[in-house]
């Protein structure tokens, strides 16, 4: 089981000094990774289904992870998730390849398709067909990262006769993780990603997702190069060894713990709880 922290760019950790202290504590405590969240903008006033008040600060994921890369040595750096349909894939490919280079190969690229229409409206991106757009954007990014002569032609993005160096350190590319709790998201994870990520999951919900993933895997073709689908979960449950054991028994590979924090002390105290839970789990 990998232990990780979510929210390294959010709330208290939008302060770079706090984020670096938390990331260094996580690294020294043996955690595997730290993960960013993303909302470019939030609806004001706060309305459902927005997950956060409009004044909650979010650092840009690539900027935050590049900063943390320079202050850490081993801990992996995940985007959990980047809302891919909102991004220019050519620009994002450059940004994230740069993160992988400055971190010497520690990036985990987590993506989702988003669900807040006001966010899409503000950015000027259509809210419909988010899934097909995300798949094309991902394929275009992989072309830039892996093809000797990058080229891609699709409905939403096309290019040829270009190069983008440096390429990512990780070969063939950083691990891809797809977030989302829909059948379409599970299909994207199985056909295009190394892993699936569920946010604020309970045990019963996680069990149902894993069962659906396994059933889908019998019906659709998963590229062999992607390997076994890795399961990551941010639990809605409390941080304790028994809870981790129950998730592990379901087949979860990574627990990405999160607790909102408004102060550095709160963020550091939560990181210490996760580290202690990891030590207790490993010792059992």
130-154 pLDDT per residue, tens: 999 999 999 999 999 999 999 999 9
CATH assignment, 2-283: 3.20.20.30
Three state DSSP letters for the chain: CEEEEECCCEHHHHCHHHHHHHHHHHHHCCCCEEEECCCCCCCCCCCCCCCCCCCCCECCHHHHHHHHHHHCCCCEEEECCEEHHHCCHHHHHHHHHHHHHHCCCCEEEEEECCCCHHHHHHHCCCCCCHHHHHHHHHHHHHHHHHCCCCCEECCCCEECCCCCCCCCCCCCCCCEEEECCCHHHHHHHHHHCCEEEEEEECHHHHHHHHHHHHHHHCCCCCCHHHCCCEEEEEECCCCCHHHHHHHHHHCCCEEEECCCCCCHHHHHHHHHHHHHHHHHHHHC
Domain locations in the chain as residue ranges: 2-283
Q: What is the pTM of this model?
A: 0.98
Give residue-wise pLDDT tens across range 48-95: 899 999 999 999 999 999 999 999 999 999 999 999 999 999 999 999
**Does the pLDDT value for residue 284 go beyond 90?**
no
């Amino acid at each position: 089981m990998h232990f990780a922290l979510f929210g390294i760019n959010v709330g208290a950790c939008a302060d770079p000094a706090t984020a670096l202290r938390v990331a260094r504590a996580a690294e020294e405590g043996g955690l595997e990774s730290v993960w960013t969240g993303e909302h470019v903008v939030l609806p004001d006033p706060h309305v459902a289904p927005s997950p956060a008040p409009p004044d909650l600060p979010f650092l840009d994921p690539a900027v935050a992870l590049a900063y943390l890369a320079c202050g850490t040595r081993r801990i992996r750096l995940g985007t959990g998730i980047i809302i891919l349909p909102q991004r220019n894939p050519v620009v994002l490919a450059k940004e994230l390849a740069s993160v992988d280079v400055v971190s010497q190969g520690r990036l985990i690229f987590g993506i989702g398709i988003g669900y807040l229409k006001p966010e899409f409206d503000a950015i000027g991106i259509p809210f419909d067909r988010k899934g097909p757009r995300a798949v094309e954007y991902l394929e275009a990014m992989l072309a830039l990262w892996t093809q000797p002569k990058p080229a891609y032609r699709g409905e939403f993005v096309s290019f040829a006769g270009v190069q983008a160096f440096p390429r990512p350190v990780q070969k063939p590319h950083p691990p891809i993780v797809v977030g989302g709790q829909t059948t379409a998201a599970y299909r994207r994870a199985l056909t295009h990603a190394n892993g699936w990520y569920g946010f604020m999951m309970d045990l019963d919900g996680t069990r149902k997702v894993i069962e659906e993933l396994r059933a889908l895997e019998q019906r659709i073709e998963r590229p062999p190069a992607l390997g076994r689908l890795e399961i990551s979960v941010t639990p809605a449950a409390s941080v304790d060894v028994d809870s981790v054991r129950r998730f592990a028994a379901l087949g979860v590979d990574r627990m990405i713990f999160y607790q909102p924090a408004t102060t550095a002390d709160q963020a550091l105290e939560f990181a210490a709880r996760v580290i202690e839970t990891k030590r207790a789990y490993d010792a059992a």
